[in-house]
């Protein structure tokens, strides 16, 4: 079953002014993550999977 999965790349990006990641599979953006950092600790993680709201990240 693992052979059916595509390659998932995590790209470090700034997302809405916050540190973030963009998950890409086969050139298609799947999820955009933003991290709220406070004193070197992650306080909150936002994940956006809705294609209409992440249009600017699409290739």
Q: Where are the domains of the chain?
A: 2-57
> How far is the C-alpha of 32 from the C-alpha of 24, rounded, in Å?
9
Taking the alpha carbons at both ends of the chain, their separation in whole angstroms is 27
Q: What's this model's pTM, rounded to 2 decimal places?
A: 0.77
**Would you give per-residue pLDDT tens digits along the chain (59 residues)?**
455 566 889 999 999 899 999 999 888 889 999 999 999 999 999 999 888 876 665 54
């Amino acid at each position: 079953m693992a052979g059916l999965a595509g390659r998932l790349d995590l790209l470090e990006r700034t997302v809405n002014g916050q540190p973030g990641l963009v998950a890409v599979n086969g050139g298609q953006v799947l999820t955009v993550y933003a991290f709220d950092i406070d004193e070197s600790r992650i306080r909150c993680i936002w994940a956006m999977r809705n294609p209409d709201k992440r249009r600017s990240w699409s290739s």
